Structure 1
Amino acid sequence: MQPFTDPAMVATYAQSTPRKVPGFADLHRMATLLLAERAPAAADILVVGAGGGLELKAFAEAQPGWRFVGVDPSAEMLDLARHVLGPLGASVELQQGYVDAAPSGPFDGATCLLTLHFLKRDERLHILREIHERLKPGAALVVAHHSIPETGDMARWLARSVAFAGGSTADLARASASAATMAERLPVLPTGEEEAILTEAGFREVALFYAAFSFRGWVAWA
């Protein structure tokens, strides 16, 4: 929680995050398309880890008929989401708290983007089970976060992502040092374990749809 209550981090989040994640806007577009495969025109969508509002803004612009519940434990990040959404916030209900605080639904789809890599396995499983309980049968869940190939070196893959964020002038030695710190602090899991947790939480047809250095994204069905 601490970084997401820091005023300096919150102030730069909306500008810095798209630079850190390869294909950031396309990730949101793909998530929208995956949700829309089975969601109706007037869908109710649950967004877990909604602070910042960037994915909510992309979804609301692409699907004006959808309604959203966004849940996040950081009051500061939710304030940022309100600012980012502007008039689009009319279709969004923001709630401070964890997924347990979310309405029971049932929802027509859900997302959890750039969030689960902060959590240990048992915490991830709890969140995914709570999401599953709130989805209609057959609804889509889209997740994306740091993960590594089965035989990958975590620090090396994270260093590649850090270097990407640094742009054309990235210092590779500094990127490697930052990645080593991230590897110590983040409980990053291999792709096979990620898919196993989704299945254990009750989801089926788990499929990888996005891969960009240390970032991976999956779609699964309730």
Structure 2
Amino acid sequence: MGHFSDSSSVARYAEGPRRLVPGLEALHRMTLLLLAERAPKDARVLVLGAGGGMELKVFAEGQPGWRFDGVDPSAAMLKLAEETLGPLAARVSLHEGYIESAPEGPFAAATCLLTLHFLSQEERLRTLQEVRRRMQPGAPFVVAHHSFPRDEAGRERWSSRFAAFAVASGVDRGMMEAGRGFIAHQLPALSPDEDEASLRAAGFSDVSLFYAAFTFRGWVAYA
């Protein structure tokens, strides 16, 4: 994840997710709606992997009474989040680090978008447990990230589809081929069944799939 500290890469960050993640803007809006089903008008919301500020801006604009704690390991990405938020940053506290850097809460809702696929299965479970510990009973938690079959045929098929979508969205073909190889063979992504099992093992219930787009999946679950 070194590119999240490179200043030129950080400056261009917003271009990447929009080209790589099918329906990114809709994913953010759906996440907001799922949180708002249970979170009160004055909710305190934990956003893990908040660097860049894209989802924070959507959430803050959509719910003017919510306050947020955003956590990310990259100082440069947190700076970008602050710039993205503009005056909305007054309702957001940004914390550099991992889940251990998050306040104890309790939070009325939480999200972790496009982040968990970077973590090993063991570290992912520990992170999910720490998120769960900081949440109010019954609070909604939304996650979305790469999640696809881990057998060789499945990895090749779905990573190729992901790459084809990115190229069709304007990403350089040569760069995307290298990215496809990383996703298929190095990214510690789990299968959808393993992802759902991890959420349940961390103490979340009523795990439901709400988003599926090539290699990406998204779930809502409850503390």
Fold-level match, TM-score > 0.5? yes
Task: Tell whether the 8 Å contact from 1:208 to 1:219 is kept in structure 2 after alignment.
Answer: yes
Taking the aligned partners of 2:212 and 2:33, their CA distance within structure 1 comes to: 17
Taking the aligned partners of 1:40 and 1:177, their CA distance within structure 2 comes to: 44
Report 1:1-222 matches (<5 A).
Answer: 1-149=1-149, 153-167=154-168, 175-222=176-223
Task: Tell whether the 8 Å contact from 1:157 to 1:214 is kept in structure 2 after alignment.
Answer: yes
Q: CA RMSD in A?
A: 1.7
Task: Tell whether the 8 Å contact from 1:156 to 1:179 is kept in structure 2 after alignment.
Answer: no
Task: Tell whether the 8 Å contact from 2:20 to 2:169 is kept in structure 1 after alignment.
Answer: no
Post-superposition shift, 1:150?
A: 7.1
Give secondary structure in 2 for the equivalent of 1:153: helix
Task: Tell whether the 8 Å contact from 1:203 to 1:220 is kept in structure 2 after alignment.
Answer: yes
Encode CA deviations 1:5-38: one digit per residue, 9 max, x unaligned: 1122101101221111101000001100110111
State the one-letter code of the partner of 2:41.
A
State the one-letter code of the partner of 1:199.
R
Taking the aligned partners of 1:202 and 1:170, their CA distance within structure 2 comes to: 39
Encode CA deviations 1:40-96: one digit per residue, 9 max, x unaligned: 011100000000000000101111111000000100100100111111111100010
Post-superposition shift, 1:200?
A: 0.4
TM-score by length of 2: 0.94
Task: Tell whether the 8 Å contact from 1:106 to 1:134 is kept in structure 2 after alignment.
Answer: yes
Give secondary structure in 2 for the equivalent of 1:187: coil
Task: Tell whether the 8 Å contact from 1:51 to 1:78 is kept in structure 2 after alignment.
Answer: yes
Sequence identity (%): 57
Taking the aligned partners of 1:2 and 1:80, their CA distance within structure 2 comes to: 16
